[in-house]
Amino acid sequence: MSTMSLSTPNLPIRSFDGRVGAVIGDSRVFVTTPNMDMIYAPTLLCQTRMRRCRNFAKDDPCFYPQPYFHEIGHLAVIPCTNLNDDEPLRVMWYIPKESDWEEVAGSSIKGVGFLKAGLFDRLRTLSTRLFNLVDKMPEEQQRDVYIRRERDQLRKLLERLEGVSSSGEDTFLLLSCAQRLFLELFARRQWLLVYLPQAEEVNSNNEVNRRIMGAFTDNLDTADRLFRMGIPVWLVRSTAHLDLTRIDKHVVPLDETFDHRLPLRDPDLELDVSHRVPEHELIYTGLPGSYKRYLKMAQYVYNLYSYTSLLGSFGAKDGMTPTRAPAASASSSQISSPSNSSQPSGSVVSGFAAVLEAVDVTSQAQVIVPEAKKQSKKPCKCTDYLFMNWYID
């Protein structure tokens, strides 16, 4: 236990202090947070694959905090899962049941259909409202690369859900992609209008918003910035610094359980992150602070619902025809109560990690750098950075 935590519990918490803290297993790292009451266990080496219920477990920014990078800072302000009846965005965490899909009657192709009108109408209504809010943003912010691309992707997915019949599983995958894109577009708008201005308030600390995802960091300056912006932050450090760190309370970190359940912000909910049989393809192995992880997630899900190419792909080797990944099996509710995991207390779906890096997966997944960030940056050479940021300010 930190010796300082016993002598200074009544002093104001600073960004590098621990309101709570935890040592993460035998990894020789510990995590503190100055503005939350729980600790998430960070992933130090990713083995990323889609799970049975169409999420990416701890690699999924819609359900678990990720390493913070300013260029994709909006991932830290994605709303946390909320299944309360009075939550306007509740449908964005809804996982469909078989009864939410209706087969086309009299079709010459068996086993194709659409979402039932009620569910699709709720999704389209909220998306239309969000599009209208985006239209009211300052023109410069409307040109933001993430705003433009996420809005365009969401529009296309809504059109496909409404006009292209497909199997129930493919329909539900498209729905999950649309839900994710809505949450990311919603978060990007909030990031530009609310949180970036707060970053300029160097002499004040904003009250933390406990209803947004937050982020990990191993950088003291980043921790200070997020703390001042009112974003939940978890600071990851080597245990070599543990005895010099104020930690007011030690807690058990939240992590994926042995039976593949992932605790969510709401203590009454957990995410089903069990594997499909057979398992989905392992798509990324490496440190979490790489854009390649998001890129691989986007490519994989895009391939799941794309048509098999009949004409070939520009730039592909001769004779190569991209094929679809195996279709995921139907899933039960992926959100449940920890006290009774067999009985769902609600349901959530995770989908396409699209455009997380402004990736255009329809154009050979080229990484697009926003105009404001095209200037050259020095690679990070600090070996103390546990996440190894691919570049720094």
Beta pairing class for 284-286 and 270-272? unpaired
The enclosing H or E element of 173 equals helix 168-190
Paired tokens of 137: 């943003």
Assigned domain for 94 exists: yes
> Which pLDDT score is estimated for 281?
94
> Which pLDDT score is estimated for 229?
95
Assigned domain for 222 exists: yes
Q: Which of 278, 243, 301 is nearest to 59 (CA)?
A: 301
Domain coverage including residue 194: 4-373
- Per DSSP, the residues of 356-371 read TTSEETTTTTEEPPPG
- Per DSSP, the residues of 235-287 read EEEEGGGGGGS-BS-B-PPB---TTSEEE-SSTT-EEE-PPPSSPPPP-EEE-
Assigned domain for 383 exists: no
> Which pLDDT score is estimated for 338?
64
Mean pLDDT by 10 residues, the chain (393 residues): 51 94 94 98 94 92 95 96 92 90 84 92 96 96 95 95 91 92 97 92 88 97 96 97 96 95 92 93 93 90 82 62 48 59 34 36 33 40 34 26
Q: Is 111 helix (H, G, I), strand (E, B) or coil?
A: coil
Give the DSSP letter of residue 353.
Answer: -
The enclosing H or E element of 23 equals strand 20-23
Assigned domain for 391 exists: no
Contact 81, 265 (CB under 8 A): yes
Assigned domain for 389 exists: no
Q: Is 98 helix (H, G, I), strand (E, B) or coil?
A: helix
Assigned domain for 218 exists: yes
Residue 364 Ramachandran class (φ > 0 left, ψ -120 to 50 alpha, else beta): left
| Alpha carbon distance 305, 307 (integer Å) | 7
- Please give the angle made by the CA atoms of 69, 75 and 78, to the nearest 5 degrees: 155
Q: Which of 217, 162, 172, 180 is nearest to 62 (CA)?
A: 180
Supply the pTM of this predicted model. 0.80
> Which pLDDT score is estimated for 337?
63
Tokens 């978060």, located at residue: 187
CA dihedral 243, 246, 251, 254 (to 10 degrees): -90
Contact 367, 358 (CB under 8 A): yes
Assigned domain for 204 exists: yes
Contact 104, 165 (CB under 8 A): yes
Residues with Cβ within 8 Å of residue 56, at least 6 apart in sequence: 48, 49, 50, 297, 350, 353
Query: How many structural domains does the chain have?
Result: 1
> Which pLDDT score is estimated for 335?
76
Assigned domain for 295 exists: yes
